[in-house]
């Protein structure tokens, strides 16, 4: 006789869906985590990780944001510090190369230099001679003035000066005095001209 018992097939209970979803998205989470670490700024040295009751993984760089009940399972992760950007080296500049002077040009320069130095020496020698002559003329004129003052009382000779209504008193030194005064007037402009030439040549060296 057929049995009235019915067999009941129980469907095995499914495991929790949350861990399965976590396992499926684990590669994505790991990629996200690596990107987060690489993109983190250099001042973020540590990252904190914990998993809540639903299996969701959380990350933060501030430990105070971790809930109290998950603090005992927090994992601290050292984030690699990004190296400072390299400063590109300055562009290399080629050393300046001075054009080589031809031997003829150097020789010409040295010859001109020697010629100018010799010319300066000749001008200075001439200027020194004029300076000595000028000193002698001026000293002699002062001496003649003193002698004329002494002999003025005994001198009675007069000479009529051209264009003058009064005759000039003649002394034994009158002719010499005239020549000396004329020579002084010649020496002074010649001496100044020599000094200007010497200065001009020195500037051209």
Number of domains composing the chain: 2
Closest CA relative to residue 141, chosen from 96, 173, 169 = 173
The answer to whether position 4 is within a domain reads: no
Return the number of other C-beta atoms located less than 10 Å from residue 171's C-beta. 19
Determine the Cα–Cα distance for residues 201 and 118; give it in Å rounded to an integer: 11
pLDDT computed for residue 91 by the predictor: 74
130 and 197 assigned to the same domain: yes
198 and 139 assigned to the same domain: yes
Determine the Cα–Cα distance for residues 151 and 142; give it in Å rounded to an integer: 15
Q: What is the mean pLDDT of the chain?
A: 75
pLDDT computed for residue 199 by the predictor: 93
Does 196 have pLDDT greater than 80?
A: yes
pLDDT computed for residue 198 by the predictor: 94
Closest CA relative to residue 123, chosen from 184, 192, 205, 186 = 192
Q: What's this model's pTM, rounded to 2 decimal places?
A: 0.42
The answer to whether position 94 is within a domain reads: no
193 and 145 assigned to the same domain: yes
């Amino acid at each position: 006789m057929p049995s009235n018992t019915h067999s009941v097939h129980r469907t095995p209970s499914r495991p929790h869906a949350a861990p399965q979803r976590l396992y499926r998205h684990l590669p994505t989470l790991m990629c996200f985590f690596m990107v987060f670490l690489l993109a983190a700024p250099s001042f973020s040295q540590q990252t904190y990780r914990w998993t809540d009751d639903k299996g969701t993984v959380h990350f933060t760089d501030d430990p105070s944001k971790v809930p109290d009940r998950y603090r005992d399972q927090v994992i601290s992760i050292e984030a690699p510090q990004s190296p400072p950007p390299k400063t590109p080296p300055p562009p290399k500049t080629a050393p300046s190369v001075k054009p080589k002077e031809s031997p003829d040009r150097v020789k010409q320069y040295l010859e001109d230099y020697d010629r100018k130095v010799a010319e300066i020496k000749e001008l200075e020698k001439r200027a020194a001679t004029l300076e000595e002559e000028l000193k002698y003329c001026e000293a002699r004129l002062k001496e003649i003035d003193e002698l004329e003052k002494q002999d003025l009382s005994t001198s009675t000779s007069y000479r009529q000066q051209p264009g003058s209504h009064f005759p000039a008193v003649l002394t034994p030194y009158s002719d010499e005095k005239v020549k000396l005064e004329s020579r002084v007037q010649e020496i002074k402009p010649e001496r100044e001209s020599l000094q200007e030439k010497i200065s001009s040549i020195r500037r051209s060296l």
